[in-house]
Amino acid sequence: MSTRSYVGVLQADGRTYRVRYAHFDGGPGTMPYLIAAVWWHTFGGDDAATVAALLAHD
């Protein structure tokens, strides 16, 4: 069985979020580490590029 979750970012207005549904491995023991690895190894710590890539496709 999978652990479903949402991954998102708070928008500039401070009230709304832009999110993406994640069907597998969404638990708190997995997802933060996966996102951190993508952020560091793929985008060199660039927050804006990481968010754009993670939320780019449906």
Q: Please tell me the number of Cα atoms within 13 Å of 44 on its side-chain side.
A: 0
State how many domains the chain has. Answer: 1
**The domain containing residue 38 runs over which residues?**
5-54
CA distance 41 to 24: 21
pLDDT of residue 1: 66
Q: Please tell me the number of Cα atoms within 13 Å of 21 on its side-chain side.
A: 4
CA distance 28 to 44: 23
Q: Which residues pair with 6 in a beta bridge?
A: 21
- For the segment 4-55, what is each residue's pLDDT rounded down to a tens digit? 999 999 999 999 999 999 888 889 999 999 999 999 999 999 999 999 999 9
- Reported residue count of the chain is 58
Residue with structure tokens 């207005």?
13
Indicate the pTM of the whole model.
0.77
